[in-house]
Amino acid sequence: MYYLLFNSLSGSAKKGIKSISKHCKKKKIETKLFSILDSNIVNEVLKTASKDDSIVILGGDGTLNAFIQNELVKESVARIMLYKAGSGNDFARDHKGKLIDITEEVKNTPYYIINDKRFNFLNGVGMGIDACVCDEVNNNPDAGYFKTAVNIFKRFKPFSVDLTVDGKLNHFDDVYFFVCMNGKNIGGGMKVAPHAVRNDGILDIYIIKGKSYKQIVMLFPLIYLGLHTLAKKHVVYLRGRNIEVDSSVSLPIQADGEVKKNITKFMVCDHTKCMVEE
């Protein structure tokens, strides 16, 4: 049995239903279709699906991010799969195939903590202009990531931030944004963390800084290719398991493209026990 969970607000997911239904019919696999927006139904599916069943998520990063916040995901005995049917698909870019087994990844996610509340993520967590861009693109999907970013750069004021990585304090000024990455991509294919390896127990941290927005805008085409790392004057690369963040100003953060606003302090941890929680 395939339990198909789709986002009824996503046009891409609706198209995916036709495609995977055709696949299942050909393979003679029985299917049941449910909206992932109904939390009660999702809970019931996670509880009742057996080890011989598959729970298939039809959607992209936002749909996956919402799904992994459910505490029952880790308890489910069913195989959990992703059928690529999103718009950004940064998670899917790191995987081959259209139908992907993601059981282990969704059960061992890195996470971040705000005011003692834990949130799971799959791709990365960022603070600064990238979160501002995500927020605006979420509100106006037709605007496009790159065009929106250029417009926001012109009015964005860089900030200072303390990043304590595995107990070592690092201070940065003139920061436009930083990201703590589990995967390679953000923003629909921007390879901000080209060396990241998913679920290796280490998060790749990139700090993008500069004296003027013109310097940073010039980096954006390089980020799509993963070549921004060569601009060492404006890009700092760190790695770590536990990151404590203390920003000089209140700013939005984004995780897998989902935004939380007015944040100054938070923690980011790999999928093992967070050092700062001990």
- Residues 87 and 132 reside in one and the same domain: no
Share of the chain above pLDDT 90, in %: 57
Give the model's pLDDT for residue 252. 95
Q: Residue range 10-18: average pLDDT?
A: 73
- Residues 174 and 102 reside in one and the same domain: no
Q: Residue range 237-263: average pLDDT?
A: 95
Helix axes 129-139, 145-153, angle to 10 degrees: 130
- Residues 8 and 139 reside in one and the same domain: no
pLDDT in tens, 71-98: 999 999 999 999 887 667 889 888 888 8
Helix (H, G, I), strand (E, B) or coil at 147: helix
- Residues 175 and 249 reside in one and the same domain: yes
Last residue of a domain, one of 66, 81, 107: 107
Helix (H, G, I), strand (E, B) or coil at 191: coil
153 in Cβ contact with 230 (< 8 Å)? no
- Residues 118 and 98 reside in one and the same domain: no
Give the model's pLDDT for residue 278. 47
- Residues 80 and 166 reside in one and the same domain: no
Q: Is the pTM of this model over 0.85?
A: yes
Give the model's pLDDT for residue 206. 97
- Residues 33 and 119 reside in one and the same domain: no
Last residue of a domain, one of 107, 135, 159: 107
Give the whole-angstrom CA distance, residue 39 versus residue 63.
Answer: 13
pLDDT in tens, 34-76: 999 899 999 999 999 999 999 999 888 888 999 999 999 999 9
- Residues 160 and 242 reside in one and the same domain: yes
219 in Cβ contact with 230 (< 8 Å)? no
Q: How many C-beta atoms lie closer than 10 Å to residue 187's C-beta?
A: 23
- Residues 92 and 123 reside in one and the same domain: no
User: Residue 95: in which H helix or E strand, if any?
Assistant: none
When divided into structural domains, the chain yields a total of 2
User: Could you give phi then psi for residue 125, rounded to 5 degrees?
Assistant: -120, 130
Domain span at residue 242 reads 113-277
- Residues 178 and 87 reside in one and the same domain: no
Last residue of a domain, one of 107, 138, 173: 107
Residue with tokens 């993008």: 208
Give the model's pLDDT for residue 86. 66
Give the model's pLDDT for residue 15. 73
pLDDT at 168 over 80: yes
- Residues 179 and 148 reside in one and the same domain: yes
